[in-house]
Amino acid sequence: MVVEQKVELRHLTARVTAAESLVEELMTENTAMEARMTAAESLVEELQRKNNVQATELGVTQQSLSSLQQRLTTSENHLEELEKQQEGQRAAVQELQNNNTVKKVAFSASLLTSGEGNTEHTDVIHLIFRNVITNIGNHYNPNIGYFMAPVRGAYYFRFTGHVAHSGSSMRLDLIKNGNPVVTAGDRPTTSEDAEDNASNGAVLQLDAGDVVSVTLGGNVWDDQYHRTTFSGFLLFPL
């Protein structure tokens, strides 16, 4: 029995030794795993810190981008406003130039380009003043005898007629769009009063495209002294 117990004791001792070796091995593996876990946790923590830093940098970048977008929008709005102002200034300059051009409207013309004599008609005729003295703006047409208003405004017109050695009376009418406005005239000349003059004028409010002319009933004289004339000019636009 003593021998058997010794043998069994040796077996138990071997098993205990093997178990202790296994426990020691497991403890070593556990220590290694703990070290690896600690390293992994440290890596996770480091990655988290980096992620936080990147998130912060991303937030700052987004804020900067938002600020830049706001500044860009403000700049675009300002640029658009400047373009509108510039366009308005160009329009104002153009309008001033147009007004300045339009304000330069004036003409004077006499009846005959050469020679002398009476122009006589028993019926009312439209006079054509062919000898242009001045025609600033070219709004008087010497081919048809009409002045056409370029803009709405107040215009002044004057006409003068001369009659000499004629048995007919003289009647001149200032005509606006086919309608008489004012008249100038005289009776037939006599041996005691061989020559006569008559004139009249008026300020007319015209719209763009309105026409003004002079008509004759009877006799009117013109010569190299340009005694029979038609004149007009723009006082101011309306």
Q: Concatenate the DSSP letters of all residues of 90-118 into one string.
A: HHHHHHHHHHHHHH--EEEEES-SSS-EE
| Contact between residue 166 and residue 188 where contact means Cβ atoms under 8 Å apart | yes
Question: Which pair of tokens denotes residue 163?
Answer: 């009659």
Exposure string (b/e) for 200-223, b if CB count within 10 Å is 16 or more?
A: bbeebebeeeebbbbbbbbbbbbb
User: 32-59 pLDDT, tens per residue?
Assistant: 888 888 888 888 888 888 888 888 888 8
* Rounded percentage of the chain residues whose pLDDT exceeds 90: 40
Strand partners, 99: none
Which residues neighbour 28 within 8 Å (Cβ) at sequence distance 6 or greater? none
Most confident residue range from 16-20, 79-83, 136-140:
136-140
Calculate what percentage of the chain has a pLDDT beyond 70.
90
Q: Are strands 153-164 and 106-110 parallel, antiparallel or unpaired?
A: unpaired
**pLDDT tens-digit readout, 125-148:** 899 999 999 999 999 999 999 999
Question: What is the CA 117 to chain-centroid distance, rounded?
Answer: 55
The pLDDT of residue 139 is 97
Residue 16 has pLDDT above 90, yes or no: no
Residue 5: helix, strand or coil by DSSP?
Answer: helix
Q: Taking residues 190-197, report their average pLDDT.
A: 72
* pLDDT confidence bin for 102, thresholds 50/70/90: low
Please give the model's pTM, rounded to 2 decimal places.
Answer: 0.58
Q: Using CA atoms of 201, 205, 208, 214 in order, give the dihedral in degrees to the nearest 10.
A: -20
